[in-house]
Structure 1
Amino acid sequence: MDRPKQLIGVIDVPGEARDALAETIARDGLAVFAADSMDDLPPETALVVAHARAVPSRDWARLNACLPTLVVSDKRLEADLLKAVDAGLVDYIVEPLRHGQLLRRMIRKAIELHRLAQERAEDRERLAQLNEHLGDLNESLETHLAMLRLDQQAGGQIQRKLLPPRPQVVGGVSCDYWLAPSLYLSGDFLDFQRFDERFILFYFADVSGHGASSAFVTVLLKYLSNRWQGEWDGTRPEQLAPRWLAELNRELLDTGIGKHATLFVGVIDLERRYLHYSLGAQLPMPLMVANGEVHPLPGEGMPVGLFPGVEYPPLGCPLPENFRLWLCSDGILECLPGETLDMRLRELEQRVQASATLEDLRGSLALGDVPADDETVVEDGPGLEKLPDDLTIMMLSGFGNDDS
């Protein structure tokens, strides 16, 4: 499709000279409209070719402000040409009839430059409008982020209220823990509580991911464990942990939220000094320290919430007179040296063996600027910018502790 001809206005005194100038410009597909003054030009005029003799001095500035203008003159030092230049019109041609091809090229170039200038002006205007819109959007986003932060902080406080008191001693078995969320909410969770005079129930969970969606699973876990504990009659303790894992596996699959967890569920029989437990792909494996040696608890099991119909085997081991049982979420592996997983696991075993208290192990980790006060760490997870993942450590020890 042919582009429409661009209209070029010619301002000159009527006569043969103006006609010749218009004819010279009209070559190469340019449309021309000859006029006596700028007020006679039609609104669709794209550019003006004005003869220096035809425009009063007072009109040059107004003409230049309205339309791109090219000045022509018969003499280089003509007084009228100098007045046009003084008014800001620097594009001019002397003896235009002799330089017709150059005149037409200058006309097309001037039109193109004017078009580009208009586009730049429009772009600047759009950019200014976009910046204004972005400013409003940023303000709205900051408001929503502040509200989200408040919601996350409130959720974190509720989640911490669900944790057991620390430290506590039940039946000579002490439990202490340290939980540091990488965000306001954590995907790690644990519980430790007396069932009756004979049994202690506890679990340690690490939900995939971190943040709000993972924290919701920990709330579900707390609710379900309380319900299942209320339904247990205290018989067949070896079956409690496997049943809990199997039922939680079904619950997570039924929710359809795409979350899974690694889990350790344990039942301590204070009368027999025996640990019944079941594993849901816990990593690192729980570590038992007794008689100066450290070893992972034996057994294995599938993650919870990934595959239907999974059965979890009942496991168990006697508890020595003096033992320490360590459970850590996989976030601890980020804080240990070693190029491979096996190297980091061996490093963890060495540090666990050398740690008599939870503070000893925590102090041996490369946690950067983590505050020393336990409550500060638990309350202010976002202060732990060094942590790429939630980090939780739980230690059970016994049996020589005095009940609180």
Structure 2
Amino acid sequence: MDAPKPLIGVLDEPGEYRDALADTIARDGLAVLAAQRLEDLPAETSLVVAHARAVPSLAWASLTERLPTVVVSDSRLDADLLTAVDVGLVDYVVEPMRHGQLLRRMIRKAIELRRLEDERNLDRERLAQLNQHLEELNESLETHLALLRLDQQAGGQIQRKLLPPHPQTLGGITCDYWLMPSLYLSGDFLDFQRFDNRFTLFYFADVSGHGASSAFVTVLLKYLCNRWLNEWDGKQPDRLPSDWLAALNRELLDTGIGKHATLFVGVIDHVDHCLYYSLGAQLPKPLLVAEGIAVELPGEGMPVGLFPNVDYPRLSYRLPADFTLWLCSDGILECLPGETLDMRLRELEQRIVTCTTLERLRDSLALHASGDIDTEEDLSGEELPDDLTIMMLSGFGDDH
């Protein structure tokens, strides 16, 4: 359907002149309606062509405010024409019958300019409505983010309660750690418990990803390991780490949450000075330092929670009388120089040998954020690319 033609109103005294003016305007197919007063024109009028003599001097201002106006006159010296020019008409034409084509061109141009102005006004109105809507959405988002931040902070406090006290010494073995979540919650987790006078158990986990979903897995890990520890009879310590990893692998697969983890599980025999352990894709590998020399604990294992029916290795290592065992999550690799993984692993090994304490190793990473998961302060000042955890066990010293 064709768009309706714009209606052009002609204001002048009735007579042959007005009729001739209307015919001149209508030659290009424009719709024209002649009237003596502005009030006689319908609301859909797009533009007014007014003769200078037809509008009182005081009425020009209200006319030009209401509609685009083209004034016609028979003389440039017409006083009414000069009055109309002063109040802001669109344009004027002298002797319109002789310049009909120019008049029609002016009318079409004025109508197009008015259409563009109306579109701009509509766009401004829509933009104002959109801005208001965006402000409301932003306010709602800020509210939800604040609630989420409070939930995350509360979750972080709960997660802190699940961690073991540190540093602590059990049967001549001292455990200390430093855990820095990437934001509020961590996918890294660890534990260190004395089973009886002979055995101490510990594990070190790095759940894939970080944030709430990974932190929930650490809660599950804490619950399962406590349950399995209560069920253990203290026999066959060499089997316990690998059996734990196999059982955890089944549990994670059964949950269907799509999370996996790298783990190291160890049992320290205080009588035989032996470490029984198993590991699942631990990276960096655990480093044991004795007499200033660092060695990687041997062994390989699959990640936990990815593949069914995985057998994890049963490994053991004779502990020297005085040792330090370091375990780090892969977040530490983001803080070390080096273009390749091997270069960063060698850098980590050198720092572990030279940094004999946990505080020295932490300080050597030159992190701007100095807090850890034990602090109640807001750690969001610098978001780390990944959770970062360091665990250090040392012994036996003079305890034989």
Q: If the TM-score is normalised by the length of the shorter chain, which range does it land in?
A: over 0.9
Alignment partners' CA distance in 2, 1:102 and 1:201 = 98
Does the C-alpha gap of structure 1 residues 178 and 295 become closer, same or farther in structure 2, counting only changes over 3 Å?
same
Does 2:383 align with 1:398?
no
- Aligned with 1:257: secondary structure? coil
Asked whether the 8 Å contact 2:369–2:379 carries over to 1, the reply is no
Matched, 1:292 2:292: yes
Cα distance between partner residues in 1 of 2:156 and 2:383: 19
Quote the residue 1:388 is aligned against.
385
8 Å CA contact retained: 2:287, 2:294: yes
SS in 2 for 1:186: coil
Which amino acid letter does the alignment assign opposite residue 346 of structure 2?
A: R
Instruction: Work out the CA distance in 1 between the residues paired with 2:146 and 2:123.
Output: 33
SS at 1:53's partner residue? helix
Q: Answer with 342-351 or 25-34: which moved more.
A: 25-34
Alpha-carbon separation, structure 1, partners of 2:308 and 2:97: 92
How many aligned positions are there?
400
Question: Gaps spanning 5+ residues in structure 2: where?
Answer: none
> For the residues of structure 1 that align with 2:342 and 2:373, how far apart are their CA atoms?
32
With over 3 angstroms needed to count, the CA separation of the structure-2 counterparts of 1:35 and 1:147, relative to structure 1, is same
- How is 1:52-67 mapped onto 2 (pairs within 5 angstroms)? 52-67=52-67
CA distance in 1, matches of 2:83, 2:399: 105
Deviates more, 1:161-170 or 1:282-291: 282-291
Quick one: distance in 2 between partners of 1:132 and 1:53?
A: 48
Q: For residues 101 and 247 of structure 1, what CA distance do their matches in structure 2 show? A: 93
Give the corresponding residue for 1:25.
Answer: 25
Change in Cα spacing, 1:329 to 1:376, as seen in structure 2 (3 Å) is closer
Contact 1:10–1:33 (Cα < 8 Å) also in 2: yes
Instruction: Report the CA distance between 1:90 and its aligned residue.
Output: 4.3
Residue 276 of structure 2 is aligned to residue 266 of structure 1: no
Separation in 2, partners of 1:235, 1:168 = 25
- Describe the superposition over 1:301-346 as per-residue Cα deviations: whole angstroms up to 9, x where unpaired: 1111111222111111111101111000111011111011100000
Q: How does 1:301-320 map to 2 (within 5 A)?
A: 301-320=301-320
The one-character-per-residue Cα deviations of 1:110-161 (angstroms, maximum 9, x if unpaired) are 1111111112112222222222222222222222211111111111000000
Task: Return 220-229 or 43-52, whichever deviates more.
Answer: 43-52
Matches within 5 A, 1:354-373: 354-367=354-367, 369-371=368-370
Cα distance between partner residues in 2 of 1:351 and 1:65: 80
**Structure 1 residue matching 2:97: 3-state secondary structure:** coil
Q: The residue matched to 1:250 in structure 2 has which SS? A: helix
One-letter code of the match for 1:388? P
Quick one: distance in 2 between partners of 1:253 and 1:105?
Answer: 78
Residue aligned with 2:53, SS? coil
- C-alpha distance 255-381 of structure 1, shift in aligned 2 (>3 A): farther
Q: Which position in structure 2 is the counterpart of 1:148?
A: 148
- Indicate yes or no: 2:329 matched with 1:329: yes
Question: Match for 1:118: what amino acid?
Answer: D
- Residue pair 1:184, 1:380 contacting (<8 A) in 2 also: no
1:383 positional shift: 4.4
**1:75 correspondence with 2:50:** no
Distance, in Å, in 1 between the alignment partners of 2:342 and 2:220 is: 33
Q: Following TM superposition, by how much is the alpha carbon of 1:26 offset from its aligned partner in structure 2, in angstroms?
A: 0.7
Matched residue, 1:48: 48
Q: What one-letter code is carried by the residue in structure 2 that aligns with 1:382?
A: L
Over 3 Å counting, the alpha-carbon distance change for 1:312 and 1:378 in structure 2 is farther
Contact preservation (8 Å) 2:47, 2:69: yes
Indicate the RMSD between aligned Cα atoms, in angstroms.
1.7
> What amino acid maps onto 2:369 in structure 1?
V
Counterpart Cα distance in 2 of 1:160 and 1:102: 84
Relative to structure 1, is the Cα distance of residues 401 and 126 closer, same or farther in structure 2, using a 3 angstrom cutoff? Answer: farther
- TM-score normalised according to structure 1 size: 0.95
| Percentage of matched positions with identical amino acids | 75
- Equivalent residue number for residue 215 of structure 1: 215
CA distance in 2, matches of 1:356, 1:268: 21
CA drift at 1:220: 0.7
Q: Between 195-204 and 104-113, report the one with greater CA deviation.
A: 104-113
Instruction: State whether residues 180 and 384 of structure 1, in contact with CA within 8 Å, keep that contact through their aligned partners in structure 2.
Output: no
Q: Give the Å deviation of 1:53.
A: 1.1
Q: Say if 1:338 and 1:102 are closer, same or farther in 2 by CA, change over 3 A.
A: same
State the AA in 1 paired with 2:385: P
Match of 2:182 in 1: 182
TM-score, structure 2 as length reference: 0.96
Unpaired runs of 5+ residues, structure 1, are none
Partner letter of residue 389 of structure 1? Answer: D
